[in-house]
């Protein structure tokens, strides 16, 4: 049971870091997206792309 919790925690932290980095690159608020990534994992990624990019290239 403890190892399962540890794996879930590490995966959630990984998605939080991933969404944080992706949001920074797209010009979105990285803290909000990190929290969403931690809570919802891979389900938050499509929503980040649906919000569009605020960066002007």
Residue 44 within a domain: yes
Report percent pLDDT > 70 for the chain.
96
> Which residue range forms the structural domain that includes residue 25?
2-50
In a domain, 20, yes or no: yes
Q: What are phi and psi of 42, to 5 degrees?
A: -65, -15
pLDDT tens series, the chain, 57 aa: 789 999 999 999 999 999 999 999 999 999 999 999 999 999 999 999 999 888 765
- Assess if residue 19 is contained within a domain: yes
Q: Domain total for the chain?
A: 1
Question: For the chain, what is the mean pLDDT?
Answer: 93
DSSP 1-57: -HHHHHHHHHHHHHHHHHHHHHHHHHTS-HHHHHHHHHHHGGGHHHHHHHT------
Structure tokens at 23: 């949001």
């Amino acid at each position: 049971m403890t190892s399962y919790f540890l794996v879930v925690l590490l995966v959630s932290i990984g998605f939080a870091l991933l969404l944080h980095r992706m949001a920074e690159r797209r010009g979105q608020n990285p803290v909000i997206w990190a929290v969403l990534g931690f809570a919802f994992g891979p389900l938050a990624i499509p929503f980040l792309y649906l919000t569009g990019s605020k960066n002007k290239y």
